[in-house]
């Protein structure tokens, strides 16, 4: 059970935070189809940051002396860096969509193509192969939270809570959840959040009340870029052992689907992300999944092909969208470039 929850969280949290990235862009009125591209870019820059800092040796003493608090700081620093790079990358979309009033779907597609191309081009030249990894050690030895850090011995049991939510987890997961909660509250209870949302519903009315629609949309896309870039790195760190190869397995698109399924509302999105995280987790580790701890792997025993499990998240997304389409309510002005002249 512990593994199931841990693995589900591993997939759920990046999905959730990137879906929230989509919410911020779309609620401000810009379709951010580029989530996948920004994730790829964020994953790459984050891993590159870790790699370069390791080579510079800033955190080597901390690693050698077992100062795990400093290493957690390193991890958060890398997340921050990936987020900022994602934000810069998303400016390309913001510029095309807001200033030049370009087709947002095409602009997003362009970024989705640009990110892996640039990443692979640079990775190939820097690392002479198609994947960039940490300069030294792996994600588990540097960043993973372990029993020993909380004063437990190798064979001691931390209890259900500890074994599930502390042992063998990453602090990145909890930072993401915290950011998710804070940003959701900001979106719904602050002046800024209200203004941002109004720009996605009726920008003309918002403008007439003195809100700068362009500025709001820029902030929406930039927050979106930050979250997606950070989410990309978190995905690379927790699910890909801190490596980047110009690919995040379609998570950006899946996040987009989660966002639509969650009806552009944070609470529903968290629920949606949980469902897809669960199915992704089943697909990834169904053969070693022992749900009630009786030593039987019944997901293998029922003899369904692994390919079916791999397909399930996508099929279920499609089905859920079909069944929830009636209640679906997208921000009214999303995808429409704001033109002052049309007021």
Helix 266-285 to helix 2-27 angle (10° resolution) is: 140
From residue 309 to residue 338, the character string flagging contacts with another protein as x (rule: CB under 8 A) and all else as - is -xx--xx-xx--xx--x--x----------
148 close to 156: Cβ distance less than 8 angstroms: no
Whether 68 contacts 76, CB under 8 Å: no
Q: How far is the CB of 113 from another protein (least distance, A)?
A: 4
Q: 34-93: which residues touch another protein (CB under 8 A)?
A: 92
Tell me if 263 contacts another protein by CB under 8 A.
no
Candidates 19-27, 137-145, 225-233, 244-252; binding stretch for another protein (CB under 8 A)? 244-252
- The token duo for 93 is 């979309």
Contacts of 300 (CB under 8 A, 6+ apart): 286, 287
Instruction: Name the maximum alpha-carbon separation found in the chain.
Output: 70
Pick the piece of the chain touching another protein (CB under 8 A) from 2-10, 14-22, 206-214, 251-259: 251-259
Q: Which range binds another protein by CB under 8 A, 144-152, 162-170, 183-191, 307-315?
A: 307-315
Helices (H), 158-301: 159-165, 171-189, 191-201, 203-208, 213-239, 251-261, 266-285, 298-301
Q: Are 254 and 14 in contact (CB under 8 A)?
A: no
281 interacts with another protein by CB under 8 A: no
> How many residues make contact with another protein (CB under 8 A)?
43
List interacting residues with another protein (CB under 8 A). Answer: 33, 92, 96, 100-103, 105-107, 109-111, 113-114, 116-118, 120-122, 124-125, 247, 249-250, 253, 256-257, 260, 305, 307-308, 310-311, 314-315, 317-318, 321-322, 325, 328
């Amino acid at each position: 059970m512990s593994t199931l929850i841990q693995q589900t969280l591993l997939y759920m949290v990046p999905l959730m935070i990137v879906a929230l990235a989509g919410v911020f862009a779309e609620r401000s009125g810009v379709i951010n189809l580029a989530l996948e591209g920004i994730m790829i870019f964020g994953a790459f820059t984050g891993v590159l940051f870790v790699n370069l800092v390791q080579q510079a040796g800033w955190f080597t003493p901390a690693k050698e002396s077992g100062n795990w608090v400093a290493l957690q700081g390193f991890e958060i620093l890398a997340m921050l860096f990936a987020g900022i790079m994602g934000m810069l990358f998303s400016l390309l979309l913001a510029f095309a969509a807001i200033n030049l009033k370009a087709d947002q779907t095409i602009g997003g597609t362009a970024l989705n193509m640009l990110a892996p191309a640039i990443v692979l081009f640079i990775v190939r030249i820097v690392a002479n192969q198609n994947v960039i990894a940490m300069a030294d050690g792996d994600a588990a030895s540097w960043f993973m939270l372990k029993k020993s850090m909380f004063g437990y011995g190798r064979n001691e049991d931390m209890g259900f809570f500890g074994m599930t939510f502390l042992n063998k987890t990453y602090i990145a997961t909890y930072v993401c959840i915290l950011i998710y909660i804070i940003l959701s509250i900001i979106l719904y209870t602050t002046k800024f959040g209200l203004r941002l949302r109004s720009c996605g519903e009726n920008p003309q009315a918002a403008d007439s009340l003195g809100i700068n629609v362009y500025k709001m949309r820029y902030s929406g896309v930039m927050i979106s870029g930050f979250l997606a870039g950070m989410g990309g790195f978190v995905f690379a760190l927790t699910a890909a052992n801190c490596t980047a190869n110009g690919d995040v397995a379609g998570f950006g698109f899946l996040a987009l689907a989660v966002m639509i399924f969650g009806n552009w509302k944070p609470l529903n999105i968290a629920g949606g992300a949980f469902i897809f995280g669960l199915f992704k987790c089943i697909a990834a580790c169904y053969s070693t999944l022992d749900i009630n701890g009786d030593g039987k792997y019944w997901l293998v025993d029922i003899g369904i092909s692994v390919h079916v499990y791999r397909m399930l998240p996508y099929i279920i997304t499609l089905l859920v969208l079909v069944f929830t389409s009636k209640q679906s309510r997208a921000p009214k002005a999303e995808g429409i470039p704001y033109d002052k002249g049309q007021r």
